Amino acid sequence: MSRPPRFAITRSMIASGAVRLAGPELHHLRDVMRLHAGADIALIDETNIEYVGRIERLEPHQAIIALSDSVPRAAPTTGELILAAGLIKGPRMDFLVEKAAELGASQLITLLCARSVVRGPGAQRVERWRRLATAAAKQSLAPQRMALAPPMTVAELVRAVPQETFAVVCVSDGPPLSAILRKAAPRGLLLACGAEGGFDPVELALMRDAGYCAASLGPNRLRAETAALVALSIAAAEIHERSGR
């Protein structure tokens, strides 16, 4: 059975067993998906709680969604899957954000690397990334919305990672990432990928000293956004396979 389309809400929008959907989500429901009264939909709030609902009626400026009597459920998760990716230029970073959310990353950390061409995103760009991540999670039915952490340096990253998280830095040489993950079978995982030109020696030394495991993505030289998404794809596939065993 196919899953119903999903829309983003905040918990404050729920009142008396119903949700009033307006703004961009109403446009998506009515004008893009072309849904009508009686259609079943899913809703996900800012804490990754998912609700089942049915469109009760469509009004000019809002849709009234009646929630079912079933208990809201937390979206399933297989542990933290964090992508720490070097900040890159323009639409390539937008693409990375969108696809990372589709692939099921639980959090994206943008890294201000020594070799980054871009030195820091503005507030408008970060807000755009949040919209892209929310839309991608809805479209892909990812189990959770991807959180966006504030930009940080590699030195800040190694201090911020929880101790129980298995951390990997992607480099041009080293054992294959898939083999490392299959052996380690981590519950929580962080993947660090550099910006244009990769990490510099000082950054690599910081991660090595912090216990990061070096892993390769194969023989080809990949662009920064490609490397990050390949790493995330490999990790997501390994986690999915392990959770299905």
Choosing from 45, 74, 103, the residue where a domain stops is 74
Same domain? For 166 and 49 the reply is no
Residues of the chain with pLDDT under 70: 1, 69-79, 143, 242-245
Same domain? For 185 and 110 the reply is yes
Same domain? For 41 and 129 the reply is no
Cross-strand pairs, 86? 111
Query: Positive or negative CA dihedral for 181, 184, 190, 191?
Result: negative
Same domain? For 42 and 88 the reply is no
Same domain? For 151 and 55 the reply is no
Choosing from 57, 74, 91, the residue where a domain stops is 74
Same domain? For 44 and 98 the reply is no
Same domain? For 142 and 200 the reply is yes
Print burial letters for 156-189: b (CB count within 10 Å at least 16), e (below 16): ebbeebeeeebbbbbbeeeeebbebbeeeebebb
pLDDT at 243: 59
Decide if 1 is inside a domain: no
Decide if 223 is inside a domain: yes
Q: Answer yes or no: are the C-beta atoms of 27 and 63 closer than 8 Å.
A: no
Same domain? For 174 and 210 the reply is yes
pLDDT at 94: 94
pLDDT at 245: 43
Structure tokens at 111: 């890294």
Residue 12 sits in which domain range? Answer: 6-74
The helix or strand, by DSSP H or E, that contains position 100, with its residue range, turns out to be helix 90-102
pLDDT tens for 17-44 read 999 999 988 998 999 889 999 999 988 8
Number of folded domains in the chain?
2
First to last CA, the chain: 22
pLDDT at 1: 46
Same domain? For 58 and 104 the reply is no
Choosing from 48, 74, 100, the residue where a domain stops is 74
pTM for this one?
Answer: 0.76
Residues of the chain with pLDDT > 90, as a percent, come to 53
Same domain? For 146 and 230 the reply is yes
Q: Report the CATH number at residue 70.
A: 2.40.240.20
Torsion angle in degrees (nearest 10) through CA of 30, 36, 38, 39: -60
Same domain? For 169 and 202 the reply is yes
C-alpha distance from residue 146 to each of 84, 90, 105, 156, 182 (Å): 12, 20, 6, 20, 24
In the block, tokens 């259609």 appear at 39
Q: Answer yes or no: are the C-beta atoms of 177 and 234 closer than 8 Å.
A: yes
- Roughly what angle, to the nearest 10 degrees, separates helices 224-243 and 90-102? 0
Q: 120: number of CA atoms within 13 Å, CB side?
A: 6
Structure tokens at 182: 């299959």
Q: Report the CATH number at residue 139.
A: 3.40.1280.10
Same domain? For 87 and 60 the reply is no
Instruction: Give the largest Cα separation in the chain, rounded.
Output: 60
